[in-house]
Amino acid sequence: MLLADFGTSYCKILDTDRNGPPVIQATRDLESNFCADLATGHNAGRRSKKSINELTALARGGEQLIQDPDFVLLDCGSRDIKYVRYGHNRIIDMGWNAECGASMGFTVELLKKYYDLDYNTIPVPDRGFSVTCGVLGMSHIFDAVIDGITESEAVARFVYGIAMNGYRFAGSPDRLYLSGGLCDNPLFVGSFPCEVVLLGRFVLLAGLQEFMKRDIR
Amino acid sequence: MSKKKVGIVGVPPLEVIKALNREKCRIIDLDEPQIQKAINLTSPFLPKVYCAILRTVVLNAMHLDLDKIYIDVGPGKCDCAGHVATILESMVDYPVIRCRNMDTVSFGTPVCRTGMPLIDKFMTITGKVQSDASRETLMPCKPTAGFWGVPPRDFSILSIFPETTHIYGWTRCMENKTPADLELEAYFNPDIPTVFFAQSFCAKTALAHHFSKLHPRALYLDCDVTAGSSTRAKIEAFLELSGVRTNRD
């Protein structure tokens, strides 16, 4: 069975008939006729036989991967951020910020390429910008550079700002389970003022696998 | 002689509705979309970042040929309605009559508690604002989900909920014909998963947010003119993860 998490920038694809790990492919490179059996994400409706709501896939994936009965799981994607909060193994809150406050992951990657930065080598700054969304956040970077701050420091403050934005959006938990491509960005992860447990990029795929098992049962 | 066309905003006092019905006026609810026009046409009169319900009021007033408007500017509506009344007075050349609905006679809330598609419940309740008839008898159903709030600008989100959804908040006050009854508005059922709906830029968003924090299984949902896919997805996920069977199951 072909499972897919169709992200805005990257697709995560798992063929359950093979034993290999999931494959990550840039969305722009995906063949036009690619069709999954079960999928989630923005393009799931038109690129799969059956689609699952992203928040539901995130929650089901979290249930599979997290042993703690009380947890907050935040998924930081290219276009949006979303979270689920569980108490006593039961969903008690959730949120999905898809419009205002969006495009942050995408902007982080754009900035890396434009300024030729390596996020592994940039230290976490002691403060960040107040970032409302990716586009407005970039204005802060441009202004900071004009004021003489280095490009890497300005971008670091932007990244710090979006981490704080996600942290507050998720309800400022003491421990945060993090999902999505930004798990691989140490500057972003280090900017959270709380314990961060990295779950990586395949949490929604884990959620789809759970749906698949239920369908089989 | 043709019927007089009278626009209403909010829930005018029952005596006003009775008088309009006696005069056989045609009552038009200006809170609801009555014409197919872009809401941005209201931008000469109202900021774009403003309550979509009140922008709809202005849009309707711009395009409908009315004889007068009754607008509730009391605690049963909102402060913004008073400001919009000022704008309407400068826009139209017929009377804009400010009223304050302080009615306390309860008409009951059978529609809010019965088993029926949620969209039909809302259409029934908003339609009954124009009526002064006594309440009908409907059997209550056991609730599996709750919807707290004002009637949304975009009714399409209501189709996601099961027929066993009970309505709370100001919409319940509407059906009861006591729009200023804050005690009734504040009531919710903590035993059922509940969506606390907030019409963006409406003053009642604060109440929706506050009550959602007090409720053990709540989703605070903010929505502007139309509901996007993420708004729908939030409702679907909330209901599904709360174990509520929906119309799509």
A141-192 pLDDT tens trace: 999 999 999 999 999 999 999 899 899 989 999 999 999 999 999 999 999 9
Residue A112's closest CA among A49, A170, A156?
A: A156
B158 shares its domain with B183 = yes
* Contact indicator for B153, B123 with CB cutoff of 8 Å: no
Statement: residue B249 has pLDDT above 80: no
Nearest residue to A34 via CA among A57, A12, A52: A12
CA distance A92 to A62: 14
Say if B246 falls within a structural domain: no
State pLDDT tens for residues B103-125. Answer: 999 999 999 999 999 999 999 99
Task: Report the pLDDT value the prediction gives residue B48, as an integer from 0 to 100.
Answer: 84
CA distance B242 to A87: 12
| Same-domain check for residues B122 and B235 | yes
Query: Which of B166, B238, A215 has the alpha carbon at shortest distance from B175?
Result: B166
Pair (B81, B141) in one structural domain? no
CA dist A138 → A106, A194, A199, B15, B196 (Å): 12, 25, 28, 57, 34
Q: How far is CA B62 from CA A79, B43, B130, B225, in A?
A: 38, 12, 21, 18
Range of the domain at B52: 5-99
Separation of alpha carbons A166 and A44, rounded Å = 24
Q: At residue A11, does pLDDT exceed 70?
A: yes
Which of A6, A42, A51, A55 to substitute to test the interface with B, most B CBs within 10 Å?
Answer: A55
Cα distances from B39 to residues B47, B82, B179, B223, B225, in angstroms, run 11, 20, 26, 15, 8
Which chain B positions have a beta carbon within 8 Å of A56's beta carbon? 236-237, 240-241
The stretch B39-47 carries a mean pLDDT of 93
- Asked if B216 has any chain A CB less than 8 Å from its own CB, the reply is yes
Predicted local distance difference test score (pLDDT) of residue A175: 98
Q: Are A124 and A187 in contact (CB under 8 A)?
A: yes
What's the number of domains chain B is made of? Answer: 2
For the cut 80, the answer to whether the pLDDT of residue B51 exceeds it is yes
Distance from CA of B219 to the nearest CA of A (A): 6
Chain A contact for B236 (CB, 8 A cutoff): yes
Residues B187, B87, single domain; the answer is: no
**Residue bearing tokens 């826009």:** B91
Say if residue A96's pLDDT is above 90.
no
pTM for this entry: 0.81
- Is A56's CB within 8 Å of B240's CB? yes
User: Would you say residue B249 lies in a domain?
Assistant: no
pLDDT, position A217: 60
Asked if B238 lies within 8 A of A59 by C-beta distance, the reply is no
Q: Would B210 be classed as within a structural domain? A: yes
Q: Flag whether pLDDT at A101 surpasses 70.
A: no
Domain match, B218 and B197 both:
yes
Q: B90 and B126: one domain?
A: no
Residues B91 and B50: their CA atoms lie apart, in Å, by: 18
Distances in Å between the Cα of B40 and the Cα atoms of B47, B50, B159 are: 9, 11, 26
Indicate if B163 and B91 belong to the same structural domain. Answer: no
Same domain as B181, residue B64:
no
Task: Tell if the CB–CB gap between B241 and A54 is shorter than 8 Å.
Answer: no
Residue of B nearest to A95 (CA): B234
Q: State the Cα–Cα distance between residues A177 and A197, nearest whole angstrom.
A: 5
As a whole number, mean pLDDT of residues B48-56 equals: 91
CATH number assigned to the domain comprising residue B40:
3.40.50.11890
Same domain (yes/no): B76, B158: no
Distance from CA of A126 to the nearest CA of B (A): 32
Contact B201, B50 (CB under 8 A): yes
Q: Mark whether B78 and B175 lie in a shared domain.
A: no
Q: For residue B150, what is the DSSP state? A: S
Can you tell me whether residue B202 is helix, strand or coil? coil
- Residue B105 is assigned to a structural domain of this protein: no
Chain A residues near residue B242 by CB distance under 8 angstroms: 91
The string of pLDDT tens digits covering residues A13-50 is: 999 998 889 999 998 999 989 999 999 988 888 899 99
Contacts 24+ apart (CB under 8 A), A83-90: A83/A169, A83/A170, A83/A171, A84/A55, A84/A58, A84/A59, A84/B241, A85/A170, A85/A171, A85/A173, A86/A59, A86/A62, A89/A63, A90/B217
Of B99, B126, B159, the domain-final residue: B99
Query: Does some domain include residue B198?
Result: yes
**Mean of per-residue pLDDT scores for chain B:** 93
Q: Does A70 touch chain B (CB under 8 A)?
A: no
* Chain B nearest CA to A215, separation (Å): 13
| Contact present, B194 and B148 (Cβ < 8 Å) | yes
Specify if B104 maps to a domain: no
Strands in A175-179's sheet, in edge-to-edge order, are: A90-97, A81-87, A71-76, A175-179, A195-200
Residue B120 placed within a domain: yes
**Got the DSSP string for A144-202?**
HHHTT--HHHHHHHHHHHHHHHHHHHTT--SEEEEESGGGG-HHHHHT-SSEEEEEES-
For the segment B136-143, the average pLDDT, to the nearest whole number, is: 91
Q: Is residue B123 located within the same domain as residue B169?
A: yes
Residue B28: the pLDDT is 96
Chain A residues in contact with B241 (beta carbon < 8 A): 55-56, 59, 84, 91, 94
Q: What is the pLDDT of residue B69?
A: 98
Q: Is residue B137 part of a domain?
A: yes
Last residue of a domain, one of B99, B127, B160: B99
* Choice among A90-104, B39-53, B204-218, B222-236 with the minimum mean pLDDT: A90-104
Give the per-residue pLDDT at B133: 83
Same domain for B235 and B115: yes
Residue that terminates a domain, selected from B66, B99, B132: B99
3-state secondary structure of A6: strand
Flag whether residue B214 sits within 8 Å of chain A, measured between CB atoms. no
